[in-house]
Amino acid sequence: MTVSPLDATPWCPSCEWNLEAYDADRNRPVFGWVWLDRRAHRLGYRMTRQQFDRLVGRPIGATEAGAATVLIAAASVLLLAGVAALTVIGVWLTVRSFPSLTILPGVTLLGFAYLLRPRFGRLDPELEVLSRQRAPELFALVDEVATTLGTPAPQVIGVDGDFNAYAGQVGLRRRRVLCLGLPYWGSLGPQERVALLGHELGHFANGDPRRTLLTQPAFRTLGEAAELLRPVDTGHRGGILELFGALLAKVFLGTLSRLLAAAHLVLVCLALRESQRAEYLADELSARAAGSDAATRLLDHALRMESMMLVVRRDSRAGHGPQRWRAATAESLADAADRLPQLRQLSVREEASLFTSHPPTGLRRRMLTSRDWHDPKVVLTESRLERIDAELAREYERIRRQISLS
């Protein structure tokens, strides 16, 4: 017997026959050609399942350096060396016999080097940074989870109005930043909040190449170079020689741009396999802190993110805050309990991709349930949760008003 929730292409829930099928009506296009998107989807699905099969039932190391990791690091070093070479040659051409005709190519190379320079990131201007004095209970909870897991604690904790949470490093000093989207944070129960903190803090210790300064060029430099070299039609029409020269430049630059773009896609695809391994490890750290039951519930919430957003928007417009958000979200998840197994399987089809940093939510949950079951090491009581929410009351109200007007 096959199933077809949400009018998806049918599959067999017991043997997963046809689960890998490309659903053109539901899968988001990547390249814009159906035949190519179908092939990319099948390849992404196959690589995602193969990685799951390799990792299930064995330790997921934070520092294991496979061939892909070594290739990403080596490519990043070469790209950094290339940018440095552009800088040196640009300076030499500019000053070698100043002033001379070599200034123009020298300045051009310096411009390219500037555009391709390493980026260190900066704090999001929308992030409302909290102080330890402003939110001592929240900071204490974050410190407790970090100590339990043996991960570094964030140096900056902030909140915003997104239905999300993230952890990262910014600036030359690589300050660790934790952002909690209040609509999401406020919709979760006590242990799910601990699970969320465990997952995000896990990113400071799980070897994710997206968050390592050395590997950043692998994610952006070739793509930016391809975009810089992509020919642009200005609409200007000159003589026959000018047209012929423009055609040659277009062919040469267009070919080079496409080659760089193809190399960028291959490199990013390899790098994102490592990012997906890191996500599995962050989920495991989440389970160690909050307990496996809470970590799996958090992933089920992720499956129903759109429903959570609708609940929060509805209750915000009715004047309700996080206490009602939590209750309504829990009710919504309980009502969907019978449909969750199919939604988990469907996520494996719809979230599998060559170019995503996260494994499908269904596989992430399946990975957790296949491993040792953990009891919670950090327990967030209702009274402590209420104190944390009281610290953030002003921020909650501001976000609630924004949501109610959207």
Q: Tens of pLDDT along 33-44?
A: 888 999 999 999
User: What pLDDT is recorded for position 403?
Assistant: 93
Instruction: Give the pLDDT score at 245.
Output: 59
Of the pLDDT bands very low, low, confident and very high (cuts 50, 70, 90), residue 84 is very high
Q: Of all helices (H) and strands (E), which one includes residue 125?
A: none
Contacts 24+ apart (CB under 8 A), 193-196: 193/380, 193/385, 194/141, 194/145, 194/289, 194/290, 194/294, 194/376, 194/378, 194/379, 194/380, 195/286, 195/287, 195/289, 195/290, 195/291, 195/294, 195/295, 195/297, 195/298, 196/165, 196/286, 196/298
- Number of neighbours of residue 172 by Cβ within 10 angstroms: 9
Residue 127 in this model has a pLDDT that exceeds 80: yes
Q: How confident is the model at residue 233 (pLDDT cuts 50, 70, 90)?
A: low
Instruction: Between 68 and 190, name the one with better pLDDT.
Output: 190
181 in a structural domain: yes
Q: What is the pairing mode between strands 128-130 and 165-170? A: unpaired
What pLDDT shows up at residue 268?
Answer: 82
Task: Say what percent of the chain tops pLDDT 70.
Answer: 94
Q: Is 171 within a domain?
A: yes
Q: Is 73 part of a structural domain of the chain?
A: no
Q: What local confidence, expressed as pLDDT, does residue 234 receive?
A: 56
> Is 405 inside any structural domain?
yes
pLDDT value of position 406: 78
Confidence of residue 237 (pLDDT cuts 50, 70, 90): low
Mean pLDDT of 47-51: 93
Whether residue 376 has pLDDT greater than 60 = yes
pTM, to two decimals: 0.90
At residue 27, the pLDDT reads: 83
| Residue 65 banded pLDDT, cuts 50, 70, 90 | low
pLDDT digits (tens, 9 = 90+) for 138-182: 999 999 999 999 999 999 999 999 999 999 998 888 899 999 999
Q: How confident is the model at residue 25 (pLDDT cuts 50, 70, 90)?
A: confident
Output the pLDDT for position 72. 80
The helix (run of H) or strand (run of E) holding residue 265 is helix 240-290
Task: Tally Cβ neighbours within 10 Å of residue 83.
Answer: 19
Would you state the pLDDT for residue 215? Answer: 76
**Quick check: is 162 in a domain?**
yes
**pLDDT tens profile 335-366:** 999 999 999 999 999 999 998 989 999 999 99
96 within domain boundaries: no
- Higher local confidence (pLDDT), 329 or 102: 329
Inter-residue long-range contacts of 305-312, CB under 8 Å, 24+ positions, other chains counted: 305/163, 307/332, 307/336, 308/163, 308/184, 308/187, 308/332, 309/163, 309/183, 311/187, 312/163, 312/183, 312/186, 312/187, 312/403
- pLDDT for res 64: 55
Q: What is the pLDDT of residues 265-305, one digit of tens each?
A: 888 888 888 889 889 999 999 999 999 999 999 999 999 99
- pLDDT computed for residue 210 by the predictor: 74
| pLDDT exceeds cutoff 90 at 75 | no
pLDDT of residue 207: 73
Number of domains forming the structure of the chain = 1
Rounded to an integer, what distance in angstroms lies between the CA atom of residue 301 and that of residue 315?
18
Q: Calculate the average pLDDT of the chain.
A: 88
Tell me what pLDDT residue 157 has: 97
> Could you tell me the residue range of the domain that residue 138 belongs to?
1-60+118-406
Say if 316 falls within a structural domain.
yes
Judge whether 192 lies within some domain. yes
Confidence of residue 189 (pLDDT cuts 50, 70, 90): very high
